[in-house]
Structure 1
Amino acid sequence: MSGDFLIQEPQLSICILHFWTYFWVQSGCVFLGVWVIAHECGHHAFSDYQWVNDTVGLVIHFALMVPYFSWKYSHRRHHSNIGSIEHDEVFVPKPKSEIEWYLNNSPGRVITLAITLVLGWPLYLAINASGRQYDPYSKGLAWLICIYVLPLLILNGIIVFITYLHHTHTSLPHYDSSEWDWLRGALATVDRDYGVLNKVFHNITNTHVVHHLFSKMPHYHAVEATEAMKPILGEYYRFDGSPLYKAMRREAKECLYVEPDEGSKGVFWYKNKI
């Protein structure tokens, strides 16, 4: 029996590879069909109503990781300037003086074609590869960085900051499998006060305990639920109203690693003695 299995195993692997190859190819083809719908939306050909075109196009292109409005405007310029060496947007041919040396041989052309097929579209979206060249230090790039990239970096930092302070505190226990259960884990978090930002963040900052207990509850009920929950949980509810900069400095200093509780097997507490 085992010998038969060993004989069949390579065949099974080949079948699996064939299945995935078929799945990838047919999914890519279906994706293109969906992409074409968004393409028509960009031309305002999908609907007589612009808001319908833009809504459907934005949703579809978002799912396909394409910046809908940026693409719509650049694609419109392509249609307005098709065939123009100076003003077209895609696959603008280069003069002989700008042709790279590796395109003068078959391996170079094959490698270039492979890279173009695999990375051409994301490179076009990212740096306008194969399109009309722009000054990389133009006001457009600076504007993009100012209104999108830097706020996105701030968002990323805030997410990490909030999550770290929710789950890092000297009063928060951790458990191994001998003591852990879902309720104990859900209570191993702490609410913080972010002042006016509590409202901006939909109170995820000062109602995180109740969020772990009732994760399907919408944020607009979280404050009310937290107030109702406090007397029930008593000492098991944790809140730290320390100024955030002090809290971050303290937790980074005092919560370096965990050690087992001396009196309770399976329970661990943050320590900082190295």
Structure 2
Amino acid sequence: MQLQLTNQPINLDNPLEDESSTKQTELPFTFQDLKAAIPPECFIPSTGRSLAYFFWDMFVVAALYVAAYTIDAWWFYPIFWASAGTMFWALFVVGHDCGHGSFSKLKWLNNLIGHISHTLILVPYHGWRISHRTHHQNTGNIDTDESWYPVTESKYRSMTWLEKFLRFESILFLYPLYLFGRSPDREHGSHFSPNSPLFRPSEKGDIITSTTLWVLMVGFLGYIGFTFGFVFLLKFYIVPYVIFVMWLDLVTYLHHTEADIPWYRGKDWYFLKGALSTIDRSYGFIDDIHHNIGTHVAHHIFIGMPHYHLKTATTALKPVLGSYYRESKVPIWRAFLDSYASCHFVSDTGSNIYQKSKKELSNP
């Protein structure tokens, strides 16, 4: 299956396949150079190992719920909320592997586990999977990227106070809104509608399936709230869900938002060049819990690589990538505050450009 995006086709069935037509003259290495540096076993998913991560996450979530229901003390709920919300985020990452086909070689199993792990946390699996595919195929392209791309200076100037509040002040709570309406400067499209411009006509069945399961989950939560009361629903689902959303927005924002990450336009962009417009970060002891999703450079180059091989691949890639490899050792809280303060827009013209602060707005 081939999909033409911008100026380069990406083989979705084999994301490791190099494209001979890809322009790579600006880089001192090719896609095949990078692939050859990595142990071959890193590209092969283990169904058993992937399932082990999934079942472990589900077990931890279940254990947390049993503990919270048994203890039923307000001093314990903050511990439960933080832990359950973090484990919801871990489940999302499992579904993320399913969406990339890196969970297993079995498409039906990827879809099954993806739907379970995502529907439980109110994510429409296929809707997200497809828009996320668009993000990976267009990473670093100001005009066609799907996730956390910068707005232009002219767009920033024209945004209403509400648009700016949502885009820049509500960063950690945006994901549910994004599912219904996408981001600035993109055609409006819902992740729940089979007629959304996000999707091909051939994908309508997938979208209907995921949306139906999402609606059933919302209905189940409504039943829980009606039967046991809103406070019960708040304690056991809404608060952990909000914490999950904060994790998702924080991590994905920091994947691609940094003052020294370049953005490209038009023919100056191509897949490998754009894939390097991300940065690796460590979240401390959370790294193993959320399946090393902060190890992001290797993931963007080789989107079909299982999460449990990313560290090994990164070690192998560093000598080849050299200065093109980006890693931040700044504490996460500081990195977030720095990006929050300095990354608001990019220039209306040019390529290989960087985000600027609103303090750097030129005179109109």
User: Structure 1-normalised TM-score?
Assistant: 0.49
Larger CA Rg, structure 1 vs 2: 1
